[in-house]
Amino acid sequence: MEIDKIKEELSSVSTKEINYSELAEILKRKKAEAVKLSDEPLAKEIWILEQVCKIQQRYLEAFNKIKQRDFYNAWCLLEKAEIGLLFLKKHFSINENPYQLKFINDVIRKYQSIYPYRLFFSTELIEKEKECSICGKVYKLRDSCGHITGEIYNGELCLWKVTKSELVGVAVVENPVHKYAVAFLKSGEGEGVEDNYDYSSLEYLMKLINQPFDTWDIDFVVKYVSHNLFKTYSPDETCPCNQTDKTYSECCLKEKGVKSLFHEFVVEKPSKEIILPNSIAIKLSK
């Protein structure tokens, strides 16, 4: 298969199924040939296509996992696709391209914003030794190998591999380096963890959309819920809006109701019309 044919194939991701392992094989072979001929630009072009494959594949897999309600693994795949995009963007504009990358880029963010995760673990690490992924040389200050991280050499991405490090701490943060480090509750004595997160918004969305490239959008709306529903809360308790450390009387009790966050979905081709409690379905004016 020629490069142009592969590009065509990757462009049709939203309409047909792509055999990624076959493509990966071909690209690997072609890259080896390009490197042999010292054809740097071609090797780089192939790296870009490999990256496109990975991003599409991870996104599609993530979508299926969300459909199957395997939410945490889907979350991790979305992050992998996000990281892939981050590396790719340095070398390839995703704005006007046929591979649906702009769509994937935007939709990942939208999915992430309706996930219930809020707290993450983040490690604090002293990096004592690292080596270049291209030449294997250990980094030495004032005597660098000259390879630049994030650049492509012989069709490979240059990265640092940390070879010696010391863990000095773990922090719980809202804005982590690695999104996969979600804080879960430990269940009982065993190894296992419990997933007590509320995925109802995602579940609701999944009832509305069928295909990974269906168009949808989300808005966040703050609505005021009647104080009558929060009668069990004393004015001195932490406010039931969960958005502050203030007490009920200092926060929402002053308002016309308790502030609640609603997800508002806009879908182009809604598959069914199911309205869950606590959701607002917006009809589209066509």
Query: Which residues sit at the interface with other proteins, rule CB under 8 A?
Result: 86, 89-90, 93, 95, 103, 106, 109, 112-113, 118, 120, 122-128, 139-144, 148-149, 166, 168-169, 171, 173-177, 179, 215-217, 219-224, 243, 259, 261, 264, 266, 268, 280, 282, 284-285
- Scanning 100-108, 177-185, 226-234, 249-257 for contacts with Zn ion by CB under 5 A, the matching segment is 249-257
Report which secondary-structure segment, H or E, holds 219: strand 216-225
CB of 115 to other proteins, least distance (A): 8
Q: CA–CA distance from 225 to each of 199, 234, 257 (Å)?
A: 21, 16, 5
Residues between 144 and 183 with contacts to Zn ion, criterion CB under 5 A: 145, 147
Q: Which of 37, 119, 135, 148 binds Zn ion (CB under 5 A)?
A: 135
| Residue 245 interface partner, choices Zn ion, other proteins, none, CB cut-off 5-8 Å depending on type | none
- Both structure tokens of 126: 């002293």
Contact 266, 216 (CB under 8 A): yes
Q: Which is nearer to other proteins, 193 or 222 (CB)?
A: 222
- Scanning 103-111, 126-134, 220-228, 267-275 for contacts with Zn ion by CB under 5 A, the matching segment is 126-134
Cα distance between residue 3 and residue 30, in whole Å: 9
| Residue 251 interface partner, choices other proteins, Zn ion, none, CB cut-off 5-8 Å depending on type | Zn ion
- Both structure tokens of 277: 């409690």
Q: Which is nearer to other proteins, 23 or 66 (CB)?
A: 66
Annotate 137-184 with three-state secondary structure.
CECCCCCCCCCCCCCEECCEECCEEEEEEEEEEEEEECCCCCCCCECC
- Both structure tokens of 227: 């104080």
For strands 280-281 and 258-267, give the pairing.
parallel
CB of 243 to Zn ion, least distance (A): 6
Residue numbers at the binding site for Zn ion (CB under 5 A): 132, 134-135, 145, 147, 239, 241, 251-252
